Amino acid sequence: MAMKLPPSLQRERHTLEEEVAWARSLTPEQRLDVVAALCRDAIQLLEMNPKRDLLLQFRDPVPASTTAALARLRRASS
């Protein structure tokens, strides 16, 4: 039997534009509130995870392009 997507994920019912319209309408302050709430939720989930310490050890390397951009910005600001 084929799986059936829930109505909220059916593209013929909801376009991507409709899904993100609420976020596009937010003010910068409201967006900050959303990000802060997501961060609080992430911290809470992390604290409940028995592998918390292991997870906190993972770090993505900083791309060379980002390091170069930061160096340019630092030079420009001095």
Q: Is residue 44 part of a domain?
A: yes
Domains of the chain: total: 1
pTM exceeding the 0.95 threshold for the entire prediction: no
**6 confidence band (pLDDT: 50, 70, 90):** confident
Q: Please write down the long-range contacts of 51-58, taking CB distance under 8 Å and 24 or more positions apart.
A: none
Q: Is residue 20 part of a domain?
A: no
pLDDT of residue 52: 96
Q: Is residue 16 part of a domain?
A: no
Domain residues for 35?
26-57
How many angstroms separate the CA atoms of 72 and 78, rounded?
Answer: 10
Q: Tell me the per-residue pLDDT of 35-66, one tens digit each, with 9 for 90 and over.
A: 999 999 999 999 999 999 999 999 999 999 99
Mean pLDDT rounded to a whole number for the chain: 90
**Residue in the block written with tokens 């980002």:** 66
List the structure tokens of 51: 């592998």
Q: Is residue 4 part of a domain?
A: no
- What percent of the chain stands above pLDDT 90? 69
Q: Is residue 49 part of a domain?
A: yes
Q: Is residue 35 part of a domain?
A: yes
Angle at 35 between CA 30 and CA 41, to 5 degrees: 130
